[in-house]
Structure 1
Amino acid sequence: MAQTEKIAARRAVALSVVVPCYNEIGGVAELYRRVTAVCREQAGHSYEIVLVIDGATDGTREAIFELAKQDSHVLGIDLARNYGHQIALSAGLEFCRGQRILILDADLQDPPELLKAMMAKMDEGFDVVYGQRVKRQGEGWFKRATAALFYR
């Protein structure tokens, strides 16, 4: 059976977490540990973690495929080269099977533990939930201004 047929044949799950990954070897194990803990708490065994390898050159690819071998909840998608964050995210969204889909960045700047509160908002009836940083410590005025414009 071809890899795409295997993906298509997978049953729907309650929760998918999609994470684009580019040269994340230093943090992929911690990302996996923390996201797995949240998923198990929120969805039992009905979850998947979709890690999209966006042309990584530092061992991220190998680490993700090793996680996928060890844990059937992990799906590694390997892009042919670095296409950028948005294309990697689109690829993950194309292949995920969750009734609910959460998106994270691999660098852990946005804590996976916040997913619990975000899912609670979904339970209240919200269709789309996103996080916004309240404090931006250590960032210059330009970064703070552009972030404020984005969220406005």
Structure 2
Amino acid sequence: MASPKLSVIIPVHNESENIAPLCARLLPVLNRITSLWEVIFVDDGSRDDTLARIRTVNHDEPRIGAVSLSRNFGKEIAIAAGLDHARGDAVVIMDADLQHPPEMIETFVERWKEGNLMVYGQRTDRSDETRVKRGFAHLFYRLFARFGEIPLPEGAGDFRLIDQRGVEVLRSLGEKARFSKGLYAWIGFKSTGVPFVVEERLHGTTKWSFRKLFRFAFDGMAAFSTVPLRIWTYLGFLISFMSIATAVYFLVRTLLFGTDLPGFPSLIVSVMFFSGIQLMSLGIIGEYVGRIFAEVKRRPLYVVQERLGGAAEVSSSLVQDDPRLRRA
């Protein structure tokens, strides 16, 4: 524990301008902690010269390696690929844009030595985000805490340290629609948070549009809750009760005042309303069926195009041990 072997996983997608500045800040931190470290960049189908710049730093520092995926599989899958190739007694996951300060890794390691098997960075300030984005983020955490299988610490993301025991459990989870935040909480183990302030992005722009964030939030809710399915059951009971109450109302009105001419607009509105309800419920069911379809196909999580540095050295043993990598 005094000199742990540390792995740092950094998923990258079109981050060529950030590679050199990140290494300039990260490597001194790692050298202060231990000489037994490795950095694994996971190139998630970058279209720029990200991989070429990683090769350059690998030439100067062999402890920096890379796993290049054959296409863009998404950040969640890239993290899974990095975990599969990490060899350290502890694994740190961080972004390449320097919004996750590398100096925090020293604090992570200190908390790990105290007996915490997972140490996560917990952002304390969202002033850089719009009010709408902050509101939706807060709403998501509240809904997940209310309806999800397990609570999520608000402000915790992928920036964290995970003990090798936790990494082994995460490697065994081969689900395709991955929501890493939920998986980190689901595996349990003793955890603690370390507050930090998100720094300005050094180069480039964020890859997370509002549409992608909404999709990501829905994936998380669907992966750890069946509430979206149950909502339509409750809504069906409510609409049925309202229809019975409406029928009783018209029956009494007809007996007391006679029959009046029914309105065509109200009929059209009713048909369109209930048609929309049915289509929405079928859409939610379709989302869950689609996830089942993706799981039963048993395709590998990712396909590796090239391995560089330490990742290449361990690739043969990983392929023998992990059936997912054997298929990849």
C-alpha distance in structure 1 between counterparts of 2:85 and 2:31, whole Å: 21
User: Aligned partners of 2:66 and 2:94: how far apart in 1?
Assistant: 15
**How far apart, CA to CA, are the structure 2 residues paired with 1:140 and 1:47?**
38
Q: What residue number does 1:80 align with?
A: 70
User: Given the alignment of the two structures, is residue 62 of structure 1 paired with residue 52 of structure 2, yes or no?
Assistant: yes
Residue equivalent to 2:16: 25
2:123 counterpart of 1:123: no
> In 2, distance between residues paired with 1:121 and 1:146?
31
Amino acid at match of 1:41: R
Supply the AA of the counterpart residue of 1:56.
Answer: S
| In structure 2, distance between residues paired with 1:147 and 1:123 | 32
Distance of 1:31 and 1:80 partners within structure 2: 24
Counterpart check, 1:114 vs 2:104? yes
Q: Which has the larger radius of gyration?
A: 2
SS at 1:137 equivalent: coil
SS of equivalent to 2:89: strand
Distance 1:69 1:26 in 2: 18
2:104 counterpart of 1:102: no
Q: What SS does the corresponding residue of 1:61 show, helix, strand or coil? A: helix
Unaligned 5+ segments in structure 2 are: 142-151, 155-328
Question: What is the CA deviation profile of residues 24-82 of structure 1, one whole-angstrom value per residue up to 9, with x for unaligned ones?
Answer: 11111011111111110111x20000011111111101001121122111011111111
Q: What pairs with 1:33-52 in structure 2 (closer than 5 Å)?
A: 33-43=24-34, 45-52=35-42
Task: Report the TM-score, using the length of structure 1 for normalisation.
Answer: 0.86
The secondary structure found in structure 1 opposite 2:73 is coil
SS at match of 2:120: coil
Give distance in 1, aligned partners of 2:136 and 2:58: 37
Amino acid at match of 1:14: K
- In structure 2, the CA distance between the partners of 1:144 and 1:80, relative to structure 1 (3 Å rule), is same
2:111 & 2:36 partners in 1: Cα distance?
A: 19
Q: CA deviation at 1:102?
A: 0.4
Tell me which residue corresponds to 1:6.
Answer: none
Deviation, 1:23, is 0.5
Separation in 1, partners of 2:136, 2:55: 36
Aligned residue in 2 for 1:8: none
More helix by proportion, 1 or 2?
Answer: 2
**C-alpha distance in 2 between matches for 1:88 and 1:78:** 9
What is the distance in 2 between the residues matched to 1:138 and 1:39? 29
Q: How many residues align?
A: 139
Q: State the one-letter code of the partner of 2:153.
A: Y
List runs of 5+ in structure 1 lacking aligned partners. Answer: 1-12
